[in-house]
Chain A
Amino acid sequence: MEVASVTTIREPAASELSGKTTGKPLVKLQATDVNFFYGSFQALHGISLDIRERRITALIGPSGCGKSTFLRTLNRISETIRQTRMEGQITLDGEDIQKLDVTNLRRRVGMVFQRPNPFPKSIFDNVAYGVRINGLHRNRSLKEIVERSLNRAALWEEVKDKLHDSALALSGGQQQRLCIARALAVDPEVLLLDEPCSSLDPIATAKIEDLLFNLKDQCTIVIVTHNMQQAARIADETGFFLMGKLIEFDRTDVMFKKPSKKETEDYITGRFG
């Protein structure tokens, strides 16, 4: 199997961008030859790819292909699993993330998980949590930060009159947007999302997608999704993982119109396996 080694994406022609900025986006996160092991099992094989600033990058592939593992290496949350080991290098704005303070790294690179996981606290306290423990509200009122984050997560209008009610009383879609608001409250530069819509109905999914689309002006987004149509709808670039390898990484429209690897074509057209 031919595997993409160092994968960078050609710049689209100005005509293809149809009015978007033609300035070259910077590389926010860069993975170089990343291997990852769970004990003796190698889950990632030589992954190299550039995640560009203020773009949405989608990672797709069948279960167990390594896409979530790769996502978790980007803010070193993978280190919380015992007996794991990473090789290779990941940089954030050119700095090796292994050399960064891990708490600070995770503040800069926020994460939202598959199942909404609000804390058993009020809506307000959920969003304020990270801000409080990071002591980030010295110059701004906590209320302002909470309102702004809930607004950015497109949830404010639905919860503004019940900020002190339990977050657990919200619907699944609202809980997931609350988790996004909580992640946004500490102003992350990158937002990692692991299947954020898998337990949501189409209306809640559409709201999250619109939200991500609007957020990308301020934040770099990496999303792992099983839903290929979701990747097609929202991502600027898409990477296809298979058996721990990055098979293909390209502009999303290229991936869904004419992928260059047969494995990608087989997967996205459902002829896989």
Chain B
Amino acid sequence: MRHFAVELEELNQALLGMGALVESSIHCSVQALVNRDERMARRVIEDEIRINQMELDIDARVTRLLALNQPVAGDLRLLIIALKINTDLERMGDLAVNIAERAISLAKVPLVKPLIDTPRMASLVEDMLHSSLDAFVKRDAALAEKVLPADDEVDSIRDNIYSELLEVMQNNPSVVPSAIHLMFVARNLERIADHTTNIAEDVIFLVRGIDIRHHVAQERLSH
């Protein structure tokens, strides 16, 4: 295999490694919240340093590959999306840390209400991320396309959580601080789903060479 191809494969692996760690951080942050497990939450916070280090490493790899190899066609598209996926994954890592921090705060006070929608939303988001990364590994644009509609479902669960928590706060103002934490958790999960959608769109660009982002935006506007 040519040297450049070897380095592209290493980049591929580095992205997948980062993806796996971010997946685990998201999962653990929500588990820490549900199980009121402060230790698990702290592990997520500690892992952020590794995620950030991976982001720097991937950016440096891509910059070097672009500078030295003048890639074109599929190689060029891979390097372009590697930079984007890298940024999306790092932000997801930050959002997972934010959930973990809120889990620590919430573990110290009684539960506002049973957590049902939040784990359901988290599980959906995790599936989306898993499918996006799987589509990236398999270079499967059709699989990536399937991820996109799930974003609407995530938005709808978030809206449910918001209205439910609003009601709880209206009935019992003393739980407002905890309820706000839970609202932010829902918002963070929804943001993670958005970043996941970005990755799926990047995979479609990688495989098909077309940018679908604005078509999707137009479709949504016309609906």
A residues near B (Cβ < 8 Å) are 228-229, 232, 256-259, 264-265, 268-271
User: Would A258 and B2 count as touching, CB distance under 8 A?
Assistant: no
A164, B5: Cα distance in complex, Å = 53
B interface, over-half SS: helix
Contact B2 A232 (CB under 8 A): no
- Interface hits, B73-95 → A, CB 8 Å: 73-77
Residues of B within 8 A of A271 (CB): 2, 5
Verify A270–B2 contact, CB threshold 8 A. Answer: yes
Task: Give 30 CB contacts A-B under 8 Å.
Answer: A228-B72, A232-B72, A256-B72, A256-B73, A256-B76, A257-B72, A257-B73, A257-B76, A257-B77, A257-B209, A258-B73, A258-B77, A258-B208, A258-B209, A258-B210, A259-B73, A264-B73, A265-B73, A265-B74, A268-B72, A268-B73, A269-B71, A269-B72, A269-B73, A269-B74, A269-B75, A270-B2, A270-B4, A271-B2, A271-B5
Look across to chain A and name the residue whose beta carbon is closest to the beta carbon of B8: A269
What residues on A are CB-neighbors of B71 within 8 Å?
269
Q: Which residues of B contact A259 (CB under 8 A)?
A: 73
B70 on the interface (CB 8 Å rule)? yes
**For residue B76, which residues in chain A have a CB less than 8 angstroms away from its CB?**
256-257
Which residue of chain B is the closest to A259 with respect to CB atoms? B73
A204 to chain B, nearest CB (A): 20
Taken together as a complex, chains A and B put the C-alpha atoms of A271 and B74 apart, in Å, by 11
A270 and B73 alpha carbons, distance in the complex (Å): 11
10 closest Cβ pairs, A-B complex:
A258-B209, A256-B72, A265-B73, A268-B72, A269-B75, A269-B73, A229-B70, A268-B73, A259-B73, A257-B209
A270 to B70, CA, bound (A): 11
* Cβ-closest chain B residue relative to A265: B73
Complex CA–CA separation, A270 to B71 (angstroms): 9
**Nearest Cβ on chain B to A119's Cβ, whole angstroms:** 37
Closest A residue to B69 by beta carbon equals: A270
Chain B 19-74 interface residues, beta-carbon cutoff 8 Å to A: 70-74
Which residues of chain A come closer than 8 Å to B209, judged between CB atoms? 257-258
Contact with A along B182-223 (1 / 0, CB 8 A): 000000000000000000000000001110000000000000
Please report the C-alpha to C-alpha distance between residue A229 and residue B73 in the assembled complex, in whole angstroms: 12
B76 → chain A closest CB, angstroms: 7
Closest-CB distance, A241 to chain B (whole angstroms): 17
In the complex, chain B residues whose CB is within 8 Å of the CB of A269: 71-75
Q: Which residues of B contact A232 (CB under 8 A)?
A: 72
| A268 / chain B contacts, CB cutoff of 8 Å | 72-73
Residues of A within 8 A of B5 (CB): 271
Query: How many Å lie between the Cα of A184 and that of B71 in the bound state?
Result: 35
In the complex, A268→B2 CA distance in Å? 14
| CA of A271 to CA of B73, assembled, Å | 12
Q: Once the chains are docked, how many angstroms separate the CA of A258 from the CA of B71?
A: 12
Residues of A contacting B4 with CB < 8 Å? Answer: 270
Q: How far is the CA of A265 from the CA of B71 in the complex (A)?
A: 11
Smallest CB–CB gap between A176 and chain B, Å?
A: 23
For B77, the chain A residues whose CB sits under 8 A away are: 257-258
Alpha-carbon gap, A258 to B76, bound state (A): 9
Q: How many Å lie between the Cα of A37 and that of B75 in the bound state? A: 37
Q: For residue B1, which residue of chain A has the nearest CB?
A: A271
- Give bound CA distance, A259 to B76, whole Å: 12
> Closest residue of chain B to A232, judged by CB?
B72
